[in-house]
Chain A
Amino acid sequence: MEEFLLRLQESDFGVWVTSAPTIFGPDVYATILMLHTVGLAMIVGPAWVLDVRLLGYGARLPVEALRGAFRIMWIGFFINASTGIALFISEADDKGLRWIFWVKLASIALALVVTSRLRRAVFDGAVAPDVAPPRARSLAKASLLLWLVAITAGRLMAYVK
């Protein structure tokens, strides 16, 4: 495993990420980190808006109006899966086996399961109900928390050895 991760990190692609310049920043690595943060905002921002609305905040807003949030979240997820894989390759040997990284991956996986269940619980019909069923409320609370854990674990990857 160690050897595989080292080979990933020292591959042409891995080296390119940490050394080639771009128009947005000094190297591909910094640019990808920045895009990873843009993706974070596109996923977690709409998710939290939906969560607080389902928990009863801003009740005058029809839940149906937030159906489009999933499209933004999908684009964000696409950005972060691609940039995440590139970051992983470039630092595979340094960070790939850290326990905090597994916490991050696990919380994202759980958050995705929760989000897809939330979508089914609320947006399956032609018009989303304006008062969320209890199940959707629990899922909204889980979503709030899981994305916070994912952000925390992601940030701590720079610190936890």
Chain B
Amino acid sequence: MLLPFASWIHNTSISLLLQQQVAWLWPFCETLHFAGLALLLGVAGMFDLRLMGFMKRVPISVVKEFMPWALVGFTLNLLTGLIFVVSQPAQYFGNPTWWLKVTFLIIAGVNAFIFETAYGRRAAALPAGEDTPTPLKIIAAVSLISWAGVLWAGRMLPFLGAGVGAGL
């Protein structure tokens, strides 16, 4: 099922266009991907630490004001990541480590969604100086671990499982 899908993407006009791009497009996108990673993890990591009980004197809503920067980092990485996948679909679909990365991304996303929908208002109303409730600490820990997982799997892509789907 993956093979036809990968080769379909590979033959789309956008993929063909990207494949014929200047040689520096790929390293350029990789550089942006690393800068975006630092921005995303720096800001989201600070927010997670606040949820875990660090910087208690600062209201959670104030720390959250920095989140647009995390979103900038995430958008940067989503766009550059899509460029990688669309130009070389088989290289990613055929690599189990990439699916692991996607799994960690989904966990991070669902976790953030749970925070927003179920705890967002409670967190914003929490007075400064008060200890954060356990569910918030768990959400923060899941977030940190899943982003670490995204980074680990992402960095391992060329080294782990790259050969598995070589024929795909």
Contacts and interface: CB of A to CB of B under 8 A. Distances in A.
A45 B46 CA distance: 9
A152 interface: yes
B124 interface: no
A46 B152 contact: no
Contacts, number: 95
B35 A68 contact: no
Interface in B28-52: 30-31, 34-35, 37-39, 41-43, 45-46
A131 interface: no
Among B41, B42, B58, B159, chain A packs the most CB atoms within 10 A around the CB of B42
B39 A30 contact: no
For the residues of B in contact with A, the DSSP-based class is helix
B85 interface: no
B34 A155 contact: yes
A61 B39 contact: no
A41 B73 CA distance: 12
A155 B30 contact: yes
Chain A interface bracket (under 10, 10 to 19, 20 to 34, 35 or more): 35 or more
A37 B155 contact: yes
A101 B139 CA distance: 39
Given A37-B37, A155-B27, A49 B66 contact: yes
Nearest to B66: A58
B159 A44 contact: no
A159 B65 contact: no
Contacts of A154: 34
Among A29, A41, A47, A158, chain B packs the most CB atoms within 10 A around the CB of A41
A49 B148 CA distance: 19
A65 B30 contact: no
Interface of A: 24-27, 29-30, 33-34, 37-38, 40-41, 44-49, 52-53, 57-58, 60-62, 65, 68, 147-148, 151-152, 154-156, 158-159
